[in-house]
Amino acid sequence: MEKTIAVLPGDGIGPEVTEAAVKVLQSIAMRYGHTFHLKHALIGGSAVDAHNSPLPEETVAACEASDAILLGAVGGVKWDNHPAHLRPEKGLLNIRKHFDLFANIRPVKAVPALLGSSPLKEEVAKDVDMVIVRELTGGLYFAEPKRRSEKSAVDTLVYTRREIERIVDQAFEIARGRRGKVTSVDKANVLETSKLWREVVEERKAAYPDVEVEHMLVDSAAMKLITDPRRFDVVVTENMFGDILSDEASVITGSLGMLPSASVRTDGFGLYEPVHGSAPDIAGQNKANPSAAILSVAMMLRHSFGMHSEASAIEEAVMGVLEDGYCTGDLTTAGKRTVSTETFVTKVIEEVERE
Amino acid sequence: MEKTIAVLPGDGIGPEVTEAAVKVLQSIAMRYGHTFHLKHALIGGSAVDAHNSPLPEETVAACEASDAILLGAVGGVKWDNHPAHLRPEKGLLNIRKHFDLFANIRPVKAVPALLGSSPLKEEVAKDVDMVIVRELTGGLYFAEPKRRSEKSAVDTLVYTRREIERIVDQAFEIARGRRGKVTSVDKANVLETSKLWREVVEERKAAYPDVEVEHMLVDSAAMKLITDPRRFDVVVTENMFGDILSDEASVITGSLGMLPSASVRTDGFGLYEPVHGSAPDIAGQNKANPSAAILSVAMMLRHSFGMHSEASAIEEAVMGVLEDGYCTGDLTTAGKRTVSTETFVTKVIEEVERE
Ligand SMILES: CC(C)[C@H](C(=O)O)[C@@H](O)C(=O)O
Ligand SMILES: CC(C)[C@H](C(=O)O)[C@@H](O)C(=O)O
């Protein structure tokens, strides 16, 4: 197959983990006979520096001419005092909205070899295997009016039936390929938007009789993610709740540096990026964990290109390297050998070639 | 001193833990020579059953004629399918708004004897000692418009400068009496209300030069509460974020059944209640943990009545009973003797009388 990928390295450790992921992608191309055309472009702080915009037109054009987007990370203290429209994260918000990437998908899976790094007791975190499905282009993030005066401020939380239907359908589809359970999280005892959300879930579930559904209030979900994370299979929720709960969930297995994410729409096009941030404190030191970026490439291959064996080959390669006892400095698990970003990638590629 | 307290037992285990707390209150009255007049009234599901309202006028009148309110818990499956205005939690929302109880204060403190019950590793949860200060009468909970149509729904997030100032001041005052650190949580990279919130915190801090302030994004706070809970002293945030984060924080030390809360305004009047819910599954079985209700009475004595020694006497009594090796069934710590609600309360009263 021949595919074009927009590569947006971004800021901080973004460039080095993206470079690592691209190397693995090329090894897959060799091994499976694919051709990947890469279009590099700027986003975030580096784009602000070069073009005075966190999402320059050239970048949008490169993405429009591609089949998928690979993103590193954006942000850094350097741009923290910029006005809102010149902040790195605005690039992220704009690209989501521009490409209608309404479904943010984040798998959280315990890696046995890394449970020592979890803040949770091993018996609580072990065998955790869930996917958080967050609505990404609606709600408080984008709805109008959004207003400031001297004496007060307003944000607006709007959801349409159509917006809820499509994200809920995504969650049901994902649950079908897994353990068949959806937990829909809302605040239906307080919010009108949550009442509509709950109604839509109740309506849509008729189309998925093989999937079990439960409703959970967001405060209760924030507790259960910690006390009983294994109970979750697929969690679906609106944008702001999803922002909070997916970050909360990302720390329970102790392997934040391992977590990939996808932001997709229904036609297969999507943006893939690590869950972790730009970590400016360790940028350029060849010690960032490239696993999340590499596993984001695996998600891209599976989700946007339908390359299932290729995706599994990458996932197995990363797990293989960890099981062989290698890890990067972010993982503090006893008995592991800490290696550089480059060495880790070389080992992953060796595994891909060996499989 | 002579004080009048409205006692609202509510639903589920509410009545039994409230009764326990009242017994401890009476032992304090005896020991310190105070008189507490109690006005019992209905709230929540039991009020819906009796008066077709979750907050009947008689209850409001009883509270208005009192110096403070002690509440048990509200809710239960029995009322889950009622229309919104006849649901138990509406009683809670209405009483907060009616009495302008804008500051919800929740201390979360690790009890060494109970760390075994925490889902977190002991080295992560130990020595945790924070207070979450949540704005309770503004934001998405109450602001208009709140609207539903067939095709969409709207909620509105409004904050005025004045609303933010008073809750931020509360947090600063509380931090002064503690380790002097405030973490203000917002989503200033997305919300206009959060930008105003951050501005007000920056303005108000000039009046508290002895207090250190940091700003943290809500997604980041959701992570750090789990990975590094000891870093927090006083956390202040808006209503919805506070709902989520305070429930998340309530499980980190493993002692949810021990956590009290206060919802207060500036004149000292307040409502005191356990953080835990009505737990209908164990109601009436004499096995609920009365500690949270008892410690809520301690908060009432300190905060509304200025009775500091009395409050400390209660807190020390509860800790003493735990250290003596007694606990209720919710606490699964090895080497403890599980006793009934009544036995636990009797032991607490013995401690109060012995001190
Ligand atoms: C950077 C920020 C605007 C963004 C969000 O809130 O969506 C980030 O936290 C995320 O989750 O991708
Ligand atoms: C019952 C519900 C409306 C309430 C809230 O969301 O405030 C509860 O969760 C709480 O935190 O006291």
What are the pLDDT digits (tens) for A218-259? 999 999 999 999 999 999 999 999 999 999 999 999 989 999
Average pLDDT over residues B194-201: 98
Q: Is B124 in Cβ contact with A223 (below 8 Å)?
A: no
The answer, for B240 touching chain A at a CB cutoff of 8 Å, is: yes
Quote the minimal CA–CA distance from A70 to chain B in Å.
23
**pLDDT classification of B125: cutoffs 50, 70, 90:** very high
Q: Is B191 in Cβ contact with A93 (below 8 Å)?
A: no
The answer, for B149 touching chain A at a CB cutoff of 8 Å, is: no
- Would you say A72 is a known binding-site residue? no
End-to-end Cα distance, chain B: 20
- Which pLDDT score, from 0 to 100, does residue B355 have? 77
Answer yes or no: is the C-beta of B244 below 6 A from any ligand 2 atom.
no
Average pLDDT over residues A18-45: 98
Statement to judge: residues B231 and B306 lie in one domain = no
The answer, for A165 touching chain B at a CB cutoff of 8 Å, is: no
Of A196, A218, A251, the residue at which a domain comes to its end is A251
Of A89, A154, A223, the CB nearest to B189: A89
The answer, for A77 touching chain B at a CB cutoff of 8 Å, is: no
C-alpha–C-alpha distance, residues A348 and A320, integer Å: 8
Which tokens go with A291? Answer: 């696993």
Q: Is B226 in Cβ contact with A251 (below 8 Å)?
A: yes
CATH of the domain at A80: 3.40.718.10
Asked if omega into B88 is within 30° of 0 (cis), the reply is: no
Pocket-testing residue among B74, B92, B246, ligand 2, by greatest number of atoms within 8 A of Cβ = B92
Torsion of Cα atoms, A44 then A48 then A52 then A56, to 10°: -30
- Which pLDDT score, from 0 to 100, does residue A94 have? 98
Task: State the closest ligand 1 atom to the C-alpha of A96, by its place in the atom list counted from 1.
Answer: 7
Q: Note whether residue B111 is domain-resident.
A: no
CB hemisphere CA count around B214 (13 angstroms): 13
- Which pLDDT score, from 0 to 100, does residue B91 have? 98
Least confident of B3-12, B112-121, B221-230: B112-121
Q: Note whether residue B259 is domain-resident.
A: no
Catalytic residue among B11, B23, B141, B233: B141
Which helix H or strand E contains B222, and what residues bound it? helix B218-227
Q: Which domain holds residue B212?
A: 129-251
Quote the minimal CA–CA distance from B303 to chain A in Å.
26
C-alpha–C-alpha distance, residues B353 and B355, integer Å: 6
- Which pLDDT score, from 0 to 100, does residue B276 have? 96
Which tokens go with A148? Answer: 């400031």
Q: B89 C-alpha vs ligand 2 centroid, how far in Å?
A: 7
* Nearest protein CA to atom 2 of ligand 2, as residue: B89
Which tokens go with A265? Answer: 């729409």
Per CB-CB distance under 8 Å, the chain B contacts of A156 are 154-157
- Which pLDDT score, from 0 to 100, does residue A255 have? 86
* Nearest protein CA to atom 7 of ligand 1, as residue: A243
Of A217, A251, A285, the residue at which a domain comes to its end is A251
Pocket-testing residue among B11, B85, B89, B140, ligand 2, by greatest number of atoms within 8 A of Cβ = B89
Statement to judge: residues A283 and A330 lie in one domain = yes
Cα angle A147, A153, A155 (rounded to 5 degrees) comes to 65
C-alpha–C-alpha distance, residues B184 and B188, integer Å: 11
Statement to judge: residues B81 and B134 lie in one domain = no
C-alpha–C-alpha distance, residues A305 and A1, integer Å: 9
Helix axis angle for B14-32 and B308-323, nearest 10°, is 120
Domain count, chain A: 2
Give per-residue pLDDT as tens, A254-275: 989 999 999 999 999 999 999 9
Give per-residue pLDDT as tens, A283-294: 999 999 999 999
Of A234, A251, A268, the residue at which a domain comes to its end is A251
Q: Note whether residue A116 is domain-resident.
A: no
Q: How many residues does chain A have?
A: 355
Per CB-CB distance under 8 Å, the chain B contacts of A159 are 152-153
Answer yes or no: is the C-beta of B89 below 6 A from any ligand 2 atom.
yes
Average per-residue pLDDT for chain B: 97
Q: Note whether residue B349 is domain-resident.
A: yes
Answer yes or no: is the C-beta of B243 below 6 A from any ligand 2 atom.
yes
User: Which residues are paired to B88 by β-bridges?
Assistant: none
Which tokens go with A330? Answer: 């972010």
Give residue A109's Cα distance to chain centre.
13
Q: Note whether residue A168 is domain-resident.
A: yes
Give per-residue pLDDT as tens, A181-221: 999 999 999 999 999 999 999 999 999 999 999 999 999 99
Statement to judge: residues B236 and B346 lie in one domain = no
Residues of the binding site of B for Mg(2+):
219, 243, 247
Per CB-CB distance under 8 Å, the chain A contacts of B120 are 119-121, 226
* Nearest protein CA to atom 10 of ligand 1, as residue: A243
Neighbours of A334 (CB within 10 A): 6
**pLDDT classification of B139: cutoffs 50, 70, 90:** very high
Torsion of Cα atoms, B114 then B118 then B120 then B124, to 10°: -20
Q: Within chain A, where are the H helices?
A: 14-32, 45-51, 57-64, 88-98, 122-125, 161-176, 192-204, 218-227, 239-250, 291-303, 308-323, 341-354
The answer, for B159 touching chain A at a CB cutoff of 8 Å, is: yes
Helix (H, G, I), strand (E, B) or coil at B85: helix
Judged against a pLDDT cut of 80, whether residue B335 lies above it is answered with no
Give per-residue pLDDT as tens, B265-323: 999 999 999 999 999 999 999 999 999 999 999 999 999 999 999 999 999 999 999 99
Q: Strand B260-264 and strand B234-237: pairing?
A: unpaired
- Which pLDDT score, from 0 to 100, does residue A16 have? 98
Closest to A99 measured CA to CA, from A87, A107, A91: A91
- Which pLDDT score, from 0 to 100, does residue A355 have? 77
Closest to A80 measured CA to CA, from B189, B14, B244: B189
User: Which residues are paired to B155 by β-bridges?
Assistant: A157
Quote the minimal CA–CA distance from B11 to chain A in Å.
17
Statement to judge: residues B240 and B271 lie in one domain = no
Statement to judge: residues B276 and B245 lie in one domain = no
Per CB-CB distance under 8 Å, the chain A contacts of B250 are 223
CATH of the domain at A230: 3.40.50.2300
- Which pLDDT score, from 0 to 100, does residue A32 have? 97
Ligand with the closest atom to the CA of B278: 2
- Would you say A231 is a known binding-site residue? no
Burial string for B306-318 (b: 16+ CB within 10 Å, else e) reads: ebeebbebbbebb
Q: How far is CA B84 from CA A220, B12, B69, B89, B185, in A?
A: 19, 19, 24, 9, 30
Ligand with the closest atom to the CA of B106: 2
Helix axis angle for A291-303 and A308-323, nearest 10°, is 160
Per CB-CB distance under 8 Å, the chain A contacts of B159 are 152-153
Contact indicator for A186, A238 with CB cutoff of 8 Å: yes
Helix (H, G, I), strand (E, B) or coil at A11: coil
Average per-residue pLDDT for chain A: 97
Statement to judge: residues B137 and B243 lie in one domain = yes
Of B159, B245, B251, the CB nearest to A227: B251
- Single-letter amino acid code for the residue at B34: H
Statement to judge: residues B244 and B271 lie in one domain = no
Q: Strand B234-237 and strand B129-135: pairing?
A: parallel
Per CB-CB distance under 8 Å, the chain A contacts of B84 are 189
Residue B195 annotated as catalytic: no
Q: Note whether residue A19 is domain-resident.
A: yes
Contact indicator for A181, A211 with CB cutoff of 8 Å: yes
The answer, for B337 touching chain A at a CB cutoff of 8 Å, is: no
Backbone angles phi, psi at A175, to 5 degrees: -60, -35
Statement to judge: residues A263 and A296 lie in one domain = yes
- Which pLDDT score, from 0 to 100, does residue B177 have? 96
Give per-residue pLDDT as tens, A115-174: 999 999 999 999 999 999 999 999 999 999 999 999 999 999 999 999 999 999 999 999
Q: Is A150 in Cβ contact with B161 (below 8 Å)?
A: yes
| A92 vs B114, residue with greater confidence | A92
The answer, for A226 touching chain B at a CB cutoff of 8 Å, is: yes
Statement to judge: residues A245 and A261 lie in one domain = no
Quote the minimal CA–CA distance from B337 to chain A in Å.
23
C-alpha–C-alpha distance, residues A46 and A31, integer Å: 33
Which tokens go with B103? Answer: 């500051």
Closest to A267 measured CA to CA, from A94, A101, A116, A123: A101
Surface-to-core class of residue B152, CB atoms within 10 Å of its CB (0-12 exposed, 13-18 middle, 19+ buried): middle
Quote the minimal CA–CA distance from B75 to chain A in Å.
11
- Which pLDDT score, from 0 to 100, does residue A55 have? 98
- Which pLDDT score, from 0 to 100, does residue A348 have? 98
Q: How far is CA B135 from CA B154, B163, B164, B248, in A?
A: 21, 8, 8, 16
Backbone angles phi, psi at A154, to 5 degrees: -135, 135
Give per-residue pLDDT as tens, B35-94: 999 999 999 999 999 999 999 999 999 999 999 999 999 999 999 889 999 999 999 999
Average pLDDT over residues B185-191: 97
Judged against a pLDDT cut of 80, whether residue B227 lies above it is answered with yes
C-alpha–C-alpha distance, residues A39 and B172, integer Å: 51
Cα angle A242, A222, B133 (rounded to 5 degrees) comes to 105
Contact indicator for B253, B226 with CB cutoff of 8 Å: no
Give residue for tokens 């698990």.
Answer: A333
Q: How far is CA B213 from CA A244, B110, B159, B164, in A?
A: 22, 23, 21, 15
Statement to judge: residues A135 and A54 lie in one domain = no
HEC string of A99-136?
Answer: CCCCEEEEEEECCHHHHHHCCECHHHHCCCEEEEEEEC
User: Cβ neighbours of residue B60 under 8 Å, at least 6 residues apart?
Assistant: B95, B98
Statement to judge: residues A97 and A179 lie in one domain = no
Average pLDDT over residues A319-337: 87
Ligand with the closest atom to the CA of A250: 1
- Would you say A106 is a known binding-site residue? yes
Q: Note whether residue B7 is domain-resident.
A: yes
pTM of the shown model: 0.97
Task: State the closest ligand 2 atom to the C-alpha of B74, by its place in the atom list counted from 1.
Answer: 1
Q: A243 C-alpha vs ligand 1 centroid, how far in Å?
A: 7
Average pLDDT over residues B97-109: 98
Q: Note whether residue A114 is domain-resident.
A: no
- Which pLDDT score, from 0 to 100, does residue B133 have? 98
